[in-house]
Amino acid sequence: MERLQKVIAHAGVTSRRKAEDYIVAGRVAVNGKVVKELGTKVPEKATIEVDGIPIEREAPVFFLLYKPKKVISAVEDDKDRPVVTDYIDETEARIYPIGRLDYDTTGLLLLTNDGDFANSMMHPRSNINKTYIAKVKGKPSKDTLQRLSRGIKLDDGKTGPAKVSFKSGNKKNDTSIIELVISEGRNHQIKRMLEAVGHPVLKLKRERYAFLTLDGLDPGDFRSLKPVEVAKLREMAVT
């Protein structure tokens, strides 16, 4: 369920701010009944009228993008840097990224215009696994890898259990490749975890999101999710 003013704004009727004014003024009806309460949540199938005219709600769309580096995970940027939605050029829908990858992180990012879906994917209890490949400074010891997998104390609390594996090392450059599978999605989580154990991240890529991979895609490429993939993700998540 989404907030009424958001649904009206998403349908392109007016801004979210003005939609609030319309609601308070009694110009909005949900399933035939005037609703003046701001923040009222409306189910996906509700009929919403503004001044007696039904609004057309956007059909939900779902995309998987291979985010390149030097791209912001947002719909616009005040410094005019490229944003992830620039890459999805086959839809007019008001899509946005589900969560964030850092400016310099590459990899798998989902985008949608479906607020319920996005919220359920990001819900902390949804436990959706995300697989990252990190190039780090130095060579983490077995003990360090175990600490990472048990959870690391960060300034916003201890991280949950992670699956951590050493992939390869480069003695000459003093770097290593580490794979981490986490189900949380805190800000800069992987970088903070590795920094905390003395192995700062030099490069980061998200290779998998649940069962989804980047197979067949190059940086900047995208594809629509198949209905069966969307259904499977919904099943995995808390609603």
Q: Name which of residues 97 to 156 contact ligand URA (CB under 6 A).
A: 101-102, 105
Contact 12, 2 (CB under 8 A): no
Identify the residue among 112, 120, 176, 189 touching ligand URA (CB under 6 A). 189
Identify the residue among 123, 188, 223, 232 touching ligand URA (CB under 6 A). 188
78 is catalytic: no
Distance CA(21)–CA(190), nearest Å, equals 42
Q: Name which of residues 62 to 101 contact ligand URA (CB under 6 A).
A: 101
Identify the residue among 204, 210, 230, 233 touching ligand URA (CB under 6 A). 204
Backbone angles phi, psi at 179, to 5 degrees: -105, 135
Distance CA(183)–CA(197), nearest Å, equals 19
Helix (H) or strand (E) holding 207: strand 201-209
Closer residue to ligand URA, CB minimum distance, 6 or 203: 203
Backbone angles phi, psi at 158, to 5 degrees: -75, 140
CB of residue 132 vs ligand URA: minimum separation in angstroms? Answer: 6
| Paired sense of beta strands 201-209 and 106-112, if any | parallel
Residues noted as catalytic: 102
Q: Which residues bind ligand URA (CB under 6 A)?
A: 101-102, 105, 188-191, 204
